[in-house]
């Protein structure tokens, strides 16, 4: 059981290492379309950046309700005040909540770009993504994984566990986005967008336990009265699977003035940047699947089964653990040609209100879909956020206040300094003394071009014309006569 103790600690205690889930701090920005396209593809239609080139970006979000870093071990203000270094002892464990979860979302945002073409906008996105999702894990089972089946206080007790879900998936994607203005009338504008993504599966592992009854008899034998589970595993390979995905989005914008003939970043509209009162967006994210090839797949079923001498099993690493599952259940888990793994599908809404004087407030939500809950696939974490921000062309700051799964509050901070974005949706441990159950950080390095070439040329001509006009209007004093 060394494997379980080691890897449960890694999974639940990853906050110590962490570098966002939805990157809510930048999700409503008018100047970062390569970021906002990830939450709504229609958001790039009237972006105030003509051409946005993302060079590189990355982020990591982790949250659980089992392991934590004690507030006594980590309190940032005291480190600064006392000029001392942080020392983290063994993590603490919450044993109150009966159902445990752990969620990990890692991404690398590769070379990407969006560009305005007047009434239409286009984009290309590349990403490498990993999700780990553990849900409905009973506290006694977490205790067994942490302490080992040798933990005597839980011996000779009949346990009945249901609906335990453990899923992990790593994949790469290349997305092509097309978006445009659907309707303009008076002060109102509707826009829509779609991102079609080609997916390349790298690895996936799934163990979903529908029902299990367990009694650990002693330090060597465990009895399973019943086991009903499904298992799937694909060996890590950069061409392990292929698939398709899609993002869909619409946005309604109420402007301060008439936009009936408005074309963003166009001399036709005098290259003006139109101010809006509010925006409302709705999107469907990550609808699709990946078909993995050369996989292990099967239903695990046992009744009245005794696992003898489990303490002699020495498991070294996750791949060894997977191999032992395949070996022990060789009659049920077999080599198959393919299985399908669904993406972390979700619905999202975005509201952004202009408070004037460069201040805005956004309200965003992400609700995971349960369409594929009985099949292999990672569930996306639910999020609700309120995001006040101050926004200028070369500087932007926001303070996202989010609820993970609608009940775990977090405060974040995001800064955009022209071509650099750095932020976190969870800086609470640095502000308040509390136990740390999660962490988050993300960044992007990019090349923003705010005006099209034609608008730049027009702006230059306008400045030169104004300068020449001043020269023509200047009157020199005549000799012997003063005006």
How confident is residue 252, by pLDDT bands cut at 50, 70 and 90? very high
SS3 of residue 473 by DSSP = helix
Determine the pLDDT at residue 482: 39
- CATH no. for residue 237? 2.40.160
**pLDDT > 90? residue 447:** yes
Confidence band of 469 (pLDDT split at 50, 70, 90): low
Q: Tell me the average pLDDT across 378-383.
A: 85
pLDDT in tens, 266-301: 888 888 889 999 999 999 999 999 999 988 777 777
Q: State the average pLDDT over residues 453-460.
A: 76
Q: How far apart are CA 308 and CA 221, in angstroms?
A: 5
Query: Residue 232: is its pLDDT beyond 80?
Result: yes
Over residues 204-225, the mean pLDDT reads: 85
Residue 475 forms part of a structural domain: no
Provide the pLDDT confidence category of residue 406 given band limits of 50, 70 and 90.
confident
For position 51, what pLDDT does the model report? 97
pLDDT at 473 over 70: no
Which of 464, 205, 442 minimizes the C-alpha distance to 319? 205
Q: Is 367 among the domain residues?
A: yes
Q: Which stretch of 126-140, 230-244, 310-324 has the lowest confidence by average pLDDT?
A: 310-324
pLDDT at position 2 is 39
pTM listed for this prediction: 0.83
Rounded to an integer, the average pLDDT of 313-339 is 61
What pLDDT is stored for residue 79 in this prediction? 53
125 or 407, which is more confident? 125
Q: What range defines the domain where residue 357 resides?
A: 2-469
Give me the percent of the chain exceeding a pLDDT of 90: 44
- Counting the structural domains of the chain, the total is 1
Residue 481 lies in a domain: no
pLDDT band at 5 (very low <50, low <70, confident <90, very high): very low
Residue 483 covered by a domain? no
Give the pLDDT score at 391: 97
Inform me whether the pLDDT recorded for 11 exceeds 80.
no
pLDDT score for 480: 38
Mean pLDDT in residue range 70-80 = 63
Q: What is the pLDDT of residues 330-358, one digit of tens each?
A: 566 666 778 889 999 999 999 999 999 99
Residue 37 contacts residue 125 (beta carbons within 8 Å): yes
What lies within 8 Å, CB to CB, of 288 at 6+ separation is 197, 199, 243, 244, 245, 246, 342, 343, 345
Classify residue 119 by burial, with Cβ atoms within 10 Å: 0-12, 13-18, 19+.
Answer: middle
Q: Is residue 480 a part of any domain in this protein? A: no
Asked whether residue 427 is domain-assigned, the answer is yes
For residue 476, pLDDT over 60 is answered with no
Q: Mean pLDDT, the chain, as a whole number?
A: 82
Task: Provide φ and ψ at 462, rounded to 5°.
Answer: -65, -40
Confidence of residue 126 (pLDDT cuts 50, 70, 90): very high
Domain presence at residue 185: yes
In angstroms, rounded to a whole number, what is the distance separating the alpha carbons of residues 3 and 16? Answer: 20
In whole angstroms, how far apart are CA 296 and each of 59, 323, 326, 331, 338?
A: 31, 10, 8, 12, 9
* Mean local confidence (pLDDT), 412-416: 95
Q: What is the share, in percent, of the chain residues with pLDDT greater than 70?
A: 80
Which H or E run contains 8? helix 2-12
Answer yes or no: is 479 within a domain: no
Indicate if the pLDDT at residue 217 is higher than 90. Answer: no
Among the residue ranges 171-175, 279-283, 465-469, the one predicted with the least confidence is: 465-469
């Amino acid at each position: 059981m060394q494997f379980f103790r080691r890897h449960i600690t890694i999974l639940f205690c990853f906050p110590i290492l962490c570098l966002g889930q939805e990157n809510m701090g930048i999700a409503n920005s008018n100047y970062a379309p390569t970021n906002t396209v990830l939450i709504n593809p229609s958001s790039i239609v009237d972006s105030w950046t003509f051409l946005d080139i993302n060079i590189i970006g990355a982020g990591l979000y982790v949250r659980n309700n089992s392991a934590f870093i004690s507030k006594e071990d980590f309190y940032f203000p005291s480190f600064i005040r006392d000029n001392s270094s942080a020392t983290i002892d063994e993590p603490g464990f919450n044993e109150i909540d009966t159902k445990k979860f752990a969620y990990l979302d890692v991404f690398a945002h590769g070379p990407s770009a969006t560009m305005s073409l007047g009434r239409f906008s286009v984009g290309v996105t590349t990403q490498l993504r990993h999700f780990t999702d553990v849900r409905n894990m009973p506290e006694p089972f977490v205790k067994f994984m942490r302490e080992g089946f040798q933990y005597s206080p839980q011996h000779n007790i009949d346990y009945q566990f249901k609906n335990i879900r453990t899923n992990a998936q790593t994949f790469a994607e290349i997305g092509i986005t097309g978006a445009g203005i659907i309707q303009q009338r008076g002060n109102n504008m509707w826009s829509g967008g779609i991102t079609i993504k080609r997916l390349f599966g790298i690895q996936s592992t799934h163990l979903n336990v529908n029902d299990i009854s367990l009694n650990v008899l002693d330090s060597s034998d465990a009895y399973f009265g019943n086991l009903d589970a499904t298992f799937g595993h694909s060996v890590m390979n950069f061409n392990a699977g292929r698939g398709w995905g899609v993002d869909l989005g619409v946005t309604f914008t109420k402007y301060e003035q008439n936009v009936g003939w408005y074309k963003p970043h166009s001399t036709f509209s005098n290259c003006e940047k139109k101010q809006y009162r509010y925006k409302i967006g709705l999107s469907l994210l990550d609808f699709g699947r990946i078909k993995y090839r050369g996989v292990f797949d099967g239903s695990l079923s046992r009744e009245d089964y005794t696992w003898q001498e489990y303490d002699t099993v020495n498991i070294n690493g996750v791949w060894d653990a997977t191999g032992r599952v395949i070996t022990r259940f060789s009659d049920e888990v077999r080599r198959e040609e393919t299985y399908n793994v669904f993406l972390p599908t979700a619905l999202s809404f975005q509201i952004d209100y202009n408070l004037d004087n460069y201040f805005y407030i956004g309200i965003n939500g992400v609700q995971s879909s349960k369409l594929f809950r009985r099949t292999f696939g990672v569930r996306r974490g639910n999020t609700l956020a309120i995001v006040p921000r101050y926004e200028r062309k070369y500087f932007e700051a926001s303070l996202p206040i989010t609820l993970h799964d609608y009940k775990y509050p977090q405060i974040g901070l995001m800064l955009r300094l022209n071509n650099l974005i750095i932020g976190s949706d969870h800086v609470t441990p640095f502000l308040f003394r509390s136990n740390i159950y999660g962490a988050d950080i993300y960044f992007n390095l990019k090349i923003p071009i705010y005006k099209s070439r034609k608008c730049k040329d027009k702006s230059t001509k306008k400045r030169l014309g104004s300068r020449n006009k001043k020269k023509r209007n200047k009157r020199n004093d005549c000799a012997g006569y003063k005006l």
